[in-house]
Amino acid sequence: MAYNPRMSIIPNHQTQNRARKKEDEADAFMRLPDKEIVGCITDIGIPFSVADLQKPNPLQVQMIFEWFAELLLNATRETVEPAMRAAAEDICGEYSDVVPPDTRNLMGFYVSLRRLLLECGVADFSFNDLYKPSYDRLVKIFSYLINFVRFRESQTTVIDEHFNKAETTKARIESLYAENHDMEARLEEMKRTRRAREAQMREKTLRDEDLKKTLLDLRRNQERVAARLEEARLRKTALAARLEDRTAAKLATRQESAKLRPRR
């Protein structure tokens, strides 16, 4: 029997080299000249020079990143501060100030910035790019960011069109939701009305049953009274007949007695 060793899932050097080559080609294609990067950053109102790019200052770099994040995500260290403070209080309790607020907010801002750069095509953004930025890394990241902003501006009409469609759809959904809510309220009201009517019908049915029972009892009493009246009438008739017979017999007796009485 031939022995087939298990195939390794770790990419070989050739595959890794091909992937790295494609990544380098993409970086080279997206890379902008230093002066163009500096010009774009200066245009947004942040003083920046080629020397600043070649020997980056972390605070200045963080300020530039924050401008891009606010433009594209509406996210800054101030916007993430409430959530980060709540998270620190939830995890650390009374020791939430162990991590300085500035560091804490920068960590929260880093998460939003990393998500933005991932969308821009930078998959290897790290915290060192904020704390210990280097020339090569900044050129790459700024190039991707600026190209993304340019592409976004070139597609403003399409983006606005889709945004308007999304807003229309959202408004329609909200309208349908409101209509559905109103219909549910009406349905619930109809159910309540139906339950009330059913209760009234049950009450009416019970009253009708009681009335039927009462009428039936009255009819039976009426029949008993009628039977007693008929019995009394028959007894009266019989007594009248007996009285007539006795009266006639008495009259006949008197007549016979008169005949038998001697004459003077």
Q: For each of the chain's 264 residues, which pLDDT tens digit applies? A: 444 445 445 555 565 556 566 666 767 778 899 999 999 899 888 888 999 999 999 999 989 988 988 888 887 778 777 877 787 777 776 666 666 777 777 788 888 888 888 888 888 888 888 889 999 999 999 999 999 888 888 877 776 777 788 788 888 888 888 898 899 999 999 999 999 999 999 999 989 899 899 988 988 889 899 888 888 888 889 888 888 888 888 888 888 787 777 766
Cα separation, 63 vs 262, in Å, equals 165
Total domain count for the chain?
1
Strand stretches in 5-70, DSSP E: none
CB 50 within 8 A of CB 40: no
Residue 93 included in any domain = yes
pLDDT of 7 reads: 47
Residue 243 included in any domain = no
Residue 105 included in any domain = yes
Q: For residues 251, 253, 254 and 260, what is the CA-based torsion angle, rounded to 10 degrees?
A: 150
Residue 107 included in any domain = yes
Cα separation, 89 vs 196, in Å, equals 52
CB 125 within 8 A of CB 115: no
pLDDT of 14 reads: 61
C-alpha torsion sign, points 106, 110, 111, 116: positive
For residue 96, the domain's CATH number is 1.10.418.60
pLDDT of 151 reads: 87
Q: Domain range spanning residue 139?
A: 24-154
pLDDT of 97 reads: 67
pTM of this prediction exceeds 0.85: no
pLDDT of 192 reads: 92
Residue 57 included in any domain = yes
Residue 229 included in any domain = no
